[in-house]
A = this chain, B = another copy of it.
Amino acid sequence: MDGWNELDRRTRELSDLRGAFELLSWDQETQLPPKGVAARGRQRAALEGVLHERLVDPRLFELLLRFQGERGLSPERAAWVRVLHRQAERARRTPDRLVRELALATSEAVEAWRLARAEGRFAPFEAPLARVLELRREQADALGHGGTRYDALLDVYEPGATLASIGPIFARLVPELQRLAGAIAETRPEPLRPFVGRRFDLARQWDLSLTLLRAIGFDLQAGRLDRSTHPFTMRSHATDVRVTNRFREDDPLPGIFGALHEGGHGLYEQGFAPSIHGTPLAEACSFGLHESQSRLWENLVGRSLPFWRAFFPELRRLFPESLQGLDVERFWRAVNEVRPTHVRVEADEVTYNLHIALRLRIEQALISGELPLAELPSAWNEASREILGLVPPDDSLGVLQDIHWAWGDLGYFPTYTIGNLYSVILARAAERELPNLWRDVERGELSPLRDWLRRKIHARGRLEEAEATVRAAAGEGLSEGPFVDYLWRKYGELYGVRR
């Protein structure tokens, strides 16, 4: 096909240069000596500049337009053209000036956010955040949208999602979660984690992370585990996927669930079919679908009783003294403790999505402009009281707790909830197709589930968008129903409450 070889060559160069860019970012979070930060910033900007230049090259666009009209393309090639055209189109619509101004504004906002959080005062963050909002609004207009500016931003992280599609889901989800959390609170549960505060050797926690990664099928010949302040997953290529984790000496749970969460992300990145490596299809469909993979392993598997029947003996072997007095069932209850908190990242399965609903409400109002920035802290506190039933004691535990807005990531938070909803939808489908699923898990045999996910989700990459991919795998699209049923069933049993 005339021109396809050139498109292929250009596409693979983009993929290789992106892989290099990802490595620079990973290195910055895990290896970079402190004095090298400024130079690394310039190196990343230079490489980003090359990527942008390649992506907006008129010749690439010409090729993409030619093949968009081509009827004889295979579904893979048609998807390739669609995804790359989307990327090129977005790059072309975002002026260089805006890219540079956003980079500057967000790096200033991150500095200001750190300061503001350390001081527990919102004021130093206000002006820098205002600048970020202004530029993101401008970007939303440049990208274009059918309804509201917020849709344009949401679409960056979750292609195809709109306020009109997710708004009603949140509207039904929130009261269900509030009802369940309320029912649990009425039982006045005892604290379930007597082991927190004891000592858990860090080297042994490291080994446990490796054990868990291997158990879920993460390939350590095509990936690594490292330490970082905040856990994350990086793909330089499907054959080089790096997860990170962090550990607390007085609590093994962050290390355990960090490994399962990032390992779940890592499996997605390692799982693209080799035939799509180097193409635009070797990429997750969306942030939401990505999160579904981490949450499925972290929560659906990692907080299940069968999983701990398989792995609690190993845990006891590693930390015999610190886990004294605990049996597998009590440990399972401990990792499923429901306890409302101010802090999103510490939230349990029941209340987690209430934190997201709070952020969605606020960031929508920020982008539309209906919430003046000066009123943001009080609006946050009011929404927190209403949605979570908690008023933060200070802004550090309130409006300043997340870094996302300083990074410019508005429209990102909803993908966490989308991921949680998808994770249950997919787990239910896997249960239907793998009748021995939980018996296998109980034996520590996680490969049937891993293989199912690989086949249904990972290997396909971005051949279709997220919801179509889930629909093909599970026979249904995004809704809150399965998630709510799952929570009531699981936590109803754990806490003896009924719907």
From A20-28, A380-388, A436-444, the one touching the partner chain is: A20-28
Q: How far is the CB of A267 from chain B (nearest CB, A)?
A: 15
Q: Is the CB of A221 within 8 A of B46?
A: no
In residues 220-274 of chain A, which contact B (Cβ within 8 Å)? 220-224, 236-240
A123-165 vs B: 1/0 string, CB under 8 Å?
0000000000000000000000000000000000000000000
The residue that A23 contacts in the complex, of B23, B223, B239, with Cβ under 8 A, is: B23
Q: Is the CB of A34 within 8 A of B221?
A: yes
Given the known inter-chain contacts A27-B27, A50-B17, A50-B50, please indicate yes or no for A222 contacting B45, CB distance below 8 A.
no
Whether a CB of chain B sits under 8 angstroms from the CB of A435 is: no
Given the known inter-chain contacts A19-B39, A20-B43, A42-B16, please indicate yes or no for A33 contacting B237, CB distance below 8 A.
no
The residue that A24 contacts in the complex, of B23, B32, B34, B219, with Cβ under 8 A, is: B23
Q: Is the CB of B221 within 8 A of A35?
A: yes
Task: Point out the residues of chain B lying under 8 angstroms from A236, CB to CB.
Answer: 36, 39-40, 43
Q: Is the CB of A240 within 8 A of B24?
A: no
Task: Point out the residues of chain B lying under 8 angstroms from A47, CB to CB.
Answer: 16-17, 20
Q: Is the CB of A38 within 8 A of B224?
A: no
Task: Point out the residues of chain B lying under 8 angstroms from A13, CB to CB.
Answer: 46, 49
Q: Please, how many angstroms separate the alpha-carbon atoms of A184 and B238 in the complex? A: 58
Q: Is the CB of B23 within 8 A of A240?
A: no
Q: How far is the CB of A16 from chain B (nearest CB, A)?
A: 4
Q: Is the CB of A23 within 8 A of B27?
A: yes
Task: Point out the residues of chain B lying under 8 angstroms from A19, CB to CB.
Answer: 39, 43
Whether a CB of chain B sits under 8 angstroms from the CB of A12 is: yes
> For residue A41, which residue of chain B has the nearest CB?
B16
Q: Please, how many angstroms separate the alpha-carbon atoms of A198 and B31 in the complex? A: 33
Q: Please, how many angstroms separate the alpha-carbon atoms of A278 and B239 in the complex? A: 33
Task: Point out the residues of chain B lying under 8 angstroms from A27, CB to CB.
Answer: 23, 27
Q: Please, how many angstroms separate the alpha-carbon atoms of A237 and B20 in the complex? A: 17
Task: Point out the residues of chain B lying under 8 angstroms from A222, CB to CB.
Answer: 33-36
> For residue A237, which residue of chain B has the nearest CB?
B39
Q: Please, how many angstroms separate the alpha-carbon atoms of A27 and B32 in the complex? A: 12
Q: Is the CB of B33 within 8 A of A221?
A: yes
Q: State the oligomeric state as a number of copies.
A: 2
Task: Point out the residues of chain B lying under 8 angstroms from A17, CB to CB.
Answer: 43, 46-47, 50
Task: Point out the residues of chain B lying under 8 angstroms from A36, CB to CB.
Answer: 222, 236-237, 239-240
The residue that A16 contacts in the complex, of B23, B46, B237, B240, with Cβ under 8 A, is: B46
Q: Please, how many angstroms separate the alpha-carbon atoms of A222 and B37 in the complex? A: 9
Question: Which of A13, A237, A240 has the most chain B CB atoms closer than 10 A to its own CB?
Answer: A240
In residues 348-376 of chain A, which contact B (Cβ within 8 Å)? none
Q: Is the CB of B20 within 8 A of A24?
A: yes
Task: Point out the residues of chain B lying under 8 angstroms from A224, CB to CB.
Answer: 31, 33
Question: Which of A13, A32, A36 has the most chain B CB atoms closer than 10 A to its own CB?
Answer: A36
Q: How far is the CB of A253 from chain B (nearest CB, A)?
A: 27
Given the known inter-chain contacts A13-B49, A23-B23, A49-B13, please indicate yes or no for A223 contacting B43, CB distance below 8 A.
no
In residues 455-474 of chain A, which contact B (Cβ within 8 Å)? none
Q: How far is the CB of A63 from chain B (nearest CB, A)?
A: 18
Q: Is the CB of A16 within 8 A of B35?
A: no
Q: Please, how many angstroms separate the alpha-carbon atoms of A202 and B460 in the complex? A: 45
Task: Point out the residues of chain B lying under 8 angstroms from A277, CB to CB.
Answer: 39
Q: Is the CB of B16 within 8 A of A43?
A: yes
Question: Which of A12, A16, A222, A278 has the most chain B CB atoms closer than 10 A to its own CB?
Answer: A16
Task: Point out the residues of chain B lying under 8 angstroms from A12, CB to CB.
Answer: 42
Task: Point out the residues of chain B lying under 8 angstroms from A278, CB to CB.
Answer: 42
Task: Point out the residues of chain B lying under 8 angstroms from A20, CB to CB.
Answer: 20, 24, 43, 46-47
Q: Please, how many angstroms separate the alpha-carbon atoms of A311 and B83 in the complex? A: 61
Can you name 20 A-B pairs with beta carbons within 8 Å? A17-B43, A20-B20, A20-B43, A23-B27, A31-B31, A31-B224, A33-B221, A34-B222, A35-B222, A35-B239, A35-B240, A36-B222, A36-B236, A36-B237, A36-B239, A39-B236, A39-B238, A40-B237, A42-B278, A43-B236
In order of increasing CB-CB distance, the 3 nearest A-B pairs are A36-B240, A39-B237, A16-B46
Q: Known contacts A16-B45, A33-B223, A39-B277; can you find 15 more A-B pairs with CB under 8 A?
A: A12-B42, A16-B42, A16-B43, A17-B43, A19-B43, A20-B24, A23-B23, A23-B24, A23-B27, A31-B224, A33-B221, A34-B222, A39-B238, A39-B240, A40-B237
